[in-house]
Structure 1
């Protein structure tokens, strides 16, 4: 069992705040993803859990035991780094075995443990090779196997897929998802890739400038973003955001007029997702010239400019039109999200 409690932890370097008042309980066997742009504090949070950084304030508890003052080696966590961190002079077998040797595990059990870990990540045919003879995806799997062989209470993964090409990211992501189910170990995973977060996580923590913006399941965060930042960060493409005015329940901006919105009058940011709108022949609430079109295979992405915003809508894959041709876009008011124009906070339901 490994329940992790982060009680108002923070990290400061002088006047710079890296992480501010992070308060969360991570359930036993939960797969939690820390998501956000570079410099948001997600890796610093993970390093404080691992003991590689000291928390300036707050407490870190593992199964109720405060671990702030414990050495990293005593916290029973295994970390997978972005850079793989393999020993170039050792073959794959010995790289995987290395944690067992360092921790003084009974040598008679090493071979069974190493081969079990290597089988889990499909490395049995590469145990004799050195890291230099492996592809990036294979090296990452060695790093995963080296973490697995320790059988830790907690897995920490710091952007493990960022050095891989797109195809390898997809296959390795699937492997990590399957491993998390098979191993059933509490896992904290850091990434700036929202697709990784949405596909892997039981819960996602979205961070910005050291502050938690929202915590929830991928579905919760996608369907009900807490603020405009979260809305713009989650989704591919990101949620369309348009600034305008609401008066009498009607939102107006250049090229846009959407009625049936039950919020007070004033300046507001309206959001909707590309798949929640439709291209119509006429009569839509948005009428603007086409800025660009992209064939995605299963759909055509039609984009228009509204003020300084690029608004995208998914049309049928057979939809055809010319750039600068006026297109009519229909979006139902119940599919709209409204955010305070000043704070970015969600407004209404």
Structure 2
């Protein structure tokens, strides 16, 4: 049983608060992603679970043990870092084997466990090579195998794909997801990349400035962001956010007017996703503005215009053709819109 519980966990350095009153239960075998920008507290949270940082307040449970006072080696967790941390003088086989030697696992078990871990990340043909002879993707797979070979209770992964190029990130991401499914080990994964979070996680924890903003499945967070921070952080592109005024159920702002809301009058922030809107006949949409830019994506054309005090976009058909400066109308029915408090940013509808 590798359920993890964080109860009122905080980390402070003097007056600076790195993590503030973090409460969460991570289920046995769950793949949980901590997501947020640099400095949001996600890596600090992981390091407290690992024992590399001491929690200022609160309790950390792994299984049925409170682990606050346990050394990292006694918490039965395996970490995979952004920097691979391989030993340059050892070949791949010995790098993978090293944790078994340190933990004094009987030598008779070493070969079978190394070969099993190697096979899971497709490294068998590279076992004789030194790290300097490997590509970035291969080195990251060695780091994964070194974590797998320990057969830990918990995997902790701190931005393991950030040093890889785009193509390798996609393939290694798939490998990590499949590994977690096969190994059935509770996994906590830290990233600032919302695509990684959306594709890997059973649940996502979105953090900002040390505070949890929202916890939920990728679909929950994408479809119902709790506030404007989450809305602007999740999605590619992020949710479009426009400032305006609600009056009599009609939202108005620069170049935009959308009717059909049941919301109180006053200043408000309206959000919508580019793929939910459509290009309308001239003058028939809720936004009418000159095209600011066009991006051909292959499967679609992304059109950006200025409206509601922001640069907002709509995903059009791949065959859509126009020029920068041409007028375009965008259809944004009220049913696809999200409403947020103009001051706090909290979701109101």
TM range (shorter): over 0.9
* 2:219 corresponds to: 219
Q: Which secondary structure does the structure 2 equivalent of 1:346 belong to?
A: coil
Q: Which secondary structure does the structure 1 equivalent of 2:288 belong to?
A: strand
Matched, 1:336 2:332: no
TM-superposed deviation, 1:308: 3.8
* 2:297 corresponds to: 296
TM-superposed deviation, 1:305: 1.2
Matches within 5 A, 1:1-349: 1-282=1-282, 283-348=284-349
Aligned residues: 348
Q: Which secondary structure does the structure 2 equivalent of 1:347 belong to?
A: coil
TM-superposed deviation, 1:307: 5.0
Q: Is the 8 A contact 2:156 2:189 kept in 1?
A: yes
User: Could you list the runs of 4 or more consecutive aligned residues of structure 1 that deviate by over 4 angstroms after TM superposition?
Assistant: none
Separation in 1, partners of 2:43, 2:266: 39
* Structural RMSD (CA): 0.6
1:175-196 Cα offsets, whole Å, 9 max, x none, are 0011011001000000000000
1:96-117 Cα offsets, whole Å, 9 max, x none, are 0000000000100100000000
Q: Is the 8 A contact 2:256 2:308 kept in 1?
A: no
Separation in 2, partners of 1:225, 1:288: 27
Separation in 2, partners of 1:95, 1:262: 61
Q: Is the 8 A contact 2:287 2:307 kept in 1?
A: no
1:152-211 Cα offsets, whole Å, 9 max, x none, are 000000000000000000000000011011001000000000000000000000000000
Separation in 2, partners of 1:153, 1:41: 23
Separation in 2, partners of 1:64, 1:256: 55
Q: Which secondary structure does the structure 1 equivalent of 2:128 belong to?
A: coil
Separation in 1, partners of 2:323, 2:200: 39
1:53-107 Cα offsets, whole Å, 9 max, x none, are 0000000001121000000000000000000000000000000000000000010
TM-superposed deviation, 1:306: 1.8
TM-superposed deviation, 1:2: 0.1
Separation in 2, partners of 1:266, 1:309: 19
Q: Which secondary structure does the structure 2 equivalent of 1:310 belong to?
A: strand
Separation in 1, partners of 2:299, 2:101: 51
Unmatched 5+ stretches in structure 2: none
Separation in 2, partners of 1:97, 1:256: 62
TM-superposed deviation, 1:47: 0.1
Q: Which secondary structure does the structure 1 equivalent of 2:313 belong to?
A: strand
Unmatched 5+ stretches in structure 1: none
Separation in 1, partners of 2:224, 2:46: 26
